[in-house]
């Protein structure tokens, strides 16, 4: 049983003419990062708002946020991608729908992927923010109110600053999850890293070299992200405060 | 907005969707859950061992699985398993595994890493005083784990394990990349054959939502009932 | 019965126990006291091998605790231990807590284990709670069950690690009463505690520890009457006015 190992394949030209296979994969990495970062911005913005709102004492606000969370949490990411890519253009008013359908690749794949991933991850962030706020001692909010701060001010100056420091570690893993989940977009035609590794495998038949290269790139990305987040943690650390470690692992990825 | 849609296509393909698609999805979920939890427990105990030559490989495996997209892992095992199987039995060619078993192996091995971390945290959450008490009355390591630590740990982590299984159920939809007919794959096939993407994908979303939501709700109810009274 | 010779222990670079030596004869009750961080809990945990130590020797009934060959579980089954936080197994009923080690370690039949458990439960006055779960009992009740659990193994000696420190004041006496009875029946006991009234009543000797060293090791009357070290005097003066 022989498999023809050829690690040099990475330095050979890929059929599309855009350079070596390695360069082909690295462009995929660029698309992965572009998707993940754009989605992350959306996810943070929406997630922080939804998570914060969920902790307010207004029942209908809390319920609406809970419904939002449940909706995006219970449908698989791939199904959501299909809804954004195939279904949404059909449900929009005709003119808008046609414009969307006529978007040239890669934007036709990139935009739905970013919006889908952004909203999907916003739910995870909302839950982290909610848990973070709820882990603060109850006295914190009371102290803020006792000083005369309004509720929004209490959130802004007392609760949220500490919450974000507490949730930095789980946010790191959510960012890694965003990067990993971007691979799902290959199903709607976005040529990110995993999609390109698959394409490389199909063109060159060097299966294991292709996937090994992609794996190594993801592992390196992991290291860089963790390293970066640790530096960020150190910079924003509050002296003398040891966060009550959430020893319990959360499910999911 | 909904003019021109033919939702009857759902009714017509109902049997196919569920008898072929959903059965595949549920079977895969249950097999991967069982295998994943067994392997995950083993990995967790290895990671908690004080011998580095046991805990390091387990840790490396778990970190590797958690660093890489599931889609990539699916591709990996789809190609790797036939080669490994052929190498193990000394065949001249890679053995034919078939997409179903490739998926079972993939998801078992992938989810095991996540189940492992849940169980590791669960075991570590049992106070050291309990372990000391077990040793103090003369139980050895295995007896202490088996009679004192694991029973309590499992009670605590069952809800999280079940939540992970719901996530696994959703993850199985990714077998789409292998063109395998799970529930989503079946819906996609009907959608493309009859040009009814909107109807089929909306229906698929609805079904996944209903099952996941119901399951999560059940887990939450369970959580309040089985907590160990301290 | 219990012999500690030149025991020293380090946690990393920090020395927790410094050349500790003492003997506990059969039937003796020794109280170990001292400020927080003096190493008294660590010392007592070295006796049944729950804490390893780097230097020195610990002998229980002639068996070396630190020796590589020693069958620790077997040794531990002969020495009972009671913890500050009771450490009953919350997922098992009271009776199951009592019978687990009897069956699994001593190999007794479930029936004989149960009858032994019930006998000891009666001795500590808690027969009515045999089917309850630890979470349903008060702290004092849990600790008495913990003592019964240790006694079910027919130990040759009993170790107590601050048994009443985690109890509400009104429950301390019910536990101390059990311990006093045990002492009066001739059990060899090593007790880490702040309860000087208990020490005064049943202890034969008192050991005072500070910063990992045994500073004073004297018969009870001598210790309470004329302690030799300044540190011990200071300690006593601070806690004895209660």
Q: What is the pTM of this model?
A: 0.78
What mean pLDDT do residues A154-166 have? 85
Which of B122, B173, B212 faces A78 most closely, judged by CB atoms?
B173
Beta partners for residue C10, in sequence order? C15
Q: Which of A178, A190, A161 is nearest to A123 (CA)?
A: A178
Q: Does residue B95 lie within any of the structural domains?
A: yes
pLDDT given at position B3: 58
| Closest chain C CA to residue B144 | C101
pLDDT given at position C240: 67
pLDDT in tens, A93-136: 888 888 888 888 888 889 999 999 999 999 999 999 999 999 88
- The CA R_g of chain A, rounded to the nearest whole Å, is 22
CA angle B144, B146, B150 (to 5 degrees): 100
| Closest chain C CA to residue B149 | C89
pLDDT at C66 over 90: no
Touching subunits of A (3+ CB pairs, under 8 Å) are B
pLDDT at A251 over 60: no
In angstroms, the separation between the Cα of residue A162 and the nearest Cα of chain B is 25
Q: List, in order, residues 6 or more apart from C149 with CB less than 8 Å away.
A: B137, C88, C97, C98, C101
Q: Which of B171, B110, B76, B64 is nearest to A198 (CA)?
A: B76
The CATH number of residue B216's host domain is 1.10.3720.10
Q: How far apart are CA B39 and CA B47, in angstroms?
A: 12
C34: left (phi over 0), alpha (psi -120 to 50) or beta: left
pLDDT given at position A250: 46
Q: How far apart are CA A35 and CA A107, in angstroms?
A: 11
CATH of A10-247, one of 1.10.3720.10, 3.40.50.300, 3.40.50.11740, 3.20.20.70: 1.10.3720.10
Contacts of A252 in chain B (CB under 8 A): 114, 163-164, 167
What are the E-state strand segments in C25-167?
29-33, 55-60, 63-64, 79-82, 157-161
pLDDT in tens, C86-129: 888 888 899 999 998 888 888 899 999 999 999 999 999 999 99
Task: Decide if C89 and B148 are in contact by the 8 Å CB cutoff.
Answer: yes
pLDDT in tens, A47-105: 999 999 999 888 999 999 999 999 999 999 999 999 999 999 888 888 888 888 888 88
> Contact, A181 vs B69, CB < 8 A?
yes
Q: How far apart are CA A1 and CA B90, in angstroms?
A: 8
Structure tokens at C64: 């070396």
Task: Decide if A180 and B117 are in contact by the 8 Å CB cutoff.
Answer: no
Structure tokens at C55: 């230097």
| Closest chain A CA to residue B119 | A249
pLDDT band at A241 (very low <50, low <70, confident <90, very high): low
Q: How far apart are CA B190 and CA B182, in angstroms?
A: 12
What are the sequence ranges of the domains in chain A?
Answer: 10-247
Q: Please tell me whether residue C15 adopts helix, strand or coil conformation.
A: strand
pLDDT in tens, C122-153: 999 999 999 998 889 999 999 999 999 999 99
Q: Does residue B103 lie within any of the structural domains?
A: yes
User: Edge-to-edge strands of the sheet including C63-64?
Assistant: C14-24, C2-11, C55-60, C63-64
CA dist B209 → A60, B29, B204, C30 (Å): 22, 16, 8, 66
pLDDT band at B176 (very low <50, low <70, confident <90, very high): very high
What mean pLDDT do residues C177-200 have? 92
Q: Does residue B2 lie within any of the structural domains?
A: no
Preceding amide of C117 cis, omega within 30: no
pLDDT band at B11 (very low <50, low <70, confident <90, very high): confident
Q: How far apart are CA B125 and CA C242, in angstroms?
A: 38
Structurally, chain B folds into a number of domains equal to 1
Beta strands at C205-210 and C29-33: parallel, antiparallel or unpaired? parallel
Task: Decide if C83 and B151 are in contact by the 8 Å CB cutoff.
Answer: no
Q: Does residue B3 lie within any of the structural domains?
A: no
């Amino acid at each position: 049983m022989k498999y023809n190992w050829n690690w040099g394949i990475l330095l050979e030209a890929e059929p599309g003419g855009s350079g070596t296979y390695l360069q082909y994969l690295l462009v995929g990495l660029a698309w992965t990062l572009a998707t993940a970062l754009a989605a992350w911005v959306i996810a943070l913005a929406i997630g922080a708002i939804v998570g914060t709102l969920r902790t307010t004492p207004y029942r209908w606000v809390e319920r609406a946020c809970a419904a939002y969370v449940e909706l995006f949490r219970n449908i698989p990411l791939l199904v959501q991608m299909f809804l954004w890519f195939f279904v949404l253009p059909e449900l929009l008013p005709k003119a808008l729908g046609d414009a969307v359908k006529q978007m040239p690749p890669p934007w036709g794949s990139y935009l739905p992927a970013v919006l889908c991933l952004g909203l999907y991850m916003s739910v995870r962030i909302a839950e982290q923010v909610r848990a973070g706020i709820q882990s603060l001692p109850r006295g914190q909010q009371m102290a803020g109110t006792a000083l005369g701060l309004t509720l929004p001010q209490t959130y802004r100056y007392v609760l949220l600053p500490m919450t974000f420091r507490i949730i930095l570690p789980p946010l790191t893993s959510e960012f890694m999850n965003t990067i990993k989940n971007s691979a799902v977009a290959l199903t709607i035609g976005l040529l990110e890293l995993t999609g390109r590794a698959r394409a490389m495998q199909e063109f060159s038949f060097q299966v294991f070299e292709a996937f090994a290269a992609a794996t190594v790139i993801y592992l390196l990305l992991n290291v860089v992200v963790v390293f970066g987040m640790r530096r960020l943690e150190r910079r924003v650390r509050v002296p003398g405060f040891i966060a009550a470690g959430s020893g319990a692992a959360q499910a999911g990825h | 907005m909904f003019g021109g849609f033919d939702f009857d296509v759902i009714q017509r393909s109902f049997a196919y969707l569920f008898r072929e698609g959903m059965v595949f999805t549920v079977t895969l979920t249950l097999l991967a859950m069982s295998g994943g939890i067994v392997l995950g427990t083993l990995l967790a105990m290895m990671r908690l061992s004080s011998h580095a030559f046991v805990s390091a490989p387990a840790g490396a495996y778990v970190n590797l699985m958690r660093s890489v997209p599931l889609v990539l892992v699916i591709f990996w095992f789809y190609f790797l398993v036939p080669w490994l199987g052929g190498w193990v039995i000394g065949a001249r060619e890679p053995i034919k595994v078939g997409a179903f078993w490739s998926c079972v192996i993939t998801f078992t091995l992938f989810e095991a890493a996540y189940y492992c971390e849940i169980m590791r945290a669960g075991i570590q959450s049992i106070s050291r005083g309990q372990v000391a008490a077990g040793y103090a009355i003369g139980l050895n390591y295995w007896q202490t784990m088996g009679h004192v630590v694991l029973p309590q740990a499992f009670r605590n982590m069952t809800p999280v394990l079940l939540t992970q299984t719901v996530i696994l159920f959703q993850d199985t939809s990714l077998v789409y990349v292998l063109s395998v007919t799970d529930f989503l794959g079946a819906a996609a096939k009907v959608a493309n054959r009859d040009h009814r993407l909107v109807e089929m994908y909306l229906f698929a979303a609805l079904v996944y939502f209903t099952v996941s939501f119901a399951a999560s709700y059940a887990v939450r109810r369970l959580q309040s009932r089985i907590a160990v009274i301290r | 019965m219990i012999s500690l010779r030149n025991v020293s222990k380090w946690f990393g670079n920090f020395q927790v126990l410094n050349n500790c030596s003492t003997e506990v004869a059969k039937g003796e009750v020794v109280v170990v006291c001292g400020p927080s961080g003096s190493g008294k809990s660590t010392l007592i945990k070295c006796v049944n091998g729950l804490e390893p130590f780097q230097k020195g020797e610990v002998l229980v009934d002639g068996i070396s605790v630190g020796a590589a060959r020693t069958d620790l579980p077997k040794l531990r089954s002969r020495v009972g231990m009671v913890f500050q936080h009771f450490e009953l197994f919350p997922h098992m009923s009271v009776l199951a807590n009592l019978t687990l080690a009897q069956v699994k370690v001593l190999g007794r039949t479930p029936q004989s284990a149960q009858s032994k458990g019930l006998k000891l439960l009666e001795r500590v006055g808690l027969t009515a709670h045999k089917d309850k779960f630890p979470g349903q009992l008060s702290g004092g009740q849990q600790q008495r069950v913990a003592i019964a659990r240790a006694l079910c193994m027919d130990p040759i000696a009993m170790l107590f690690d601050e048994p009443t420190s985690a109890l509400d004041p009104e429950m301390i006496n019910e536990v101390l009463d059990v311990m006093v009875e045990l002492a009066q029946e001739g059990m060899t006991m090593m007790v880490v505690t702040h309860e000087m009234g208990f020490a005064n009543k049943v202890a034969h000797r008192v050991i005072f520890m500070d910063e990992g060293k045994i500073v004073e090791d004297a018969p009870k009357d001598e210790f309470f009457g004329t302690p030799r070290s300044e540190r011990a005097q200071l300690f006593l003066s601070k806690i004895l006015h209660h």
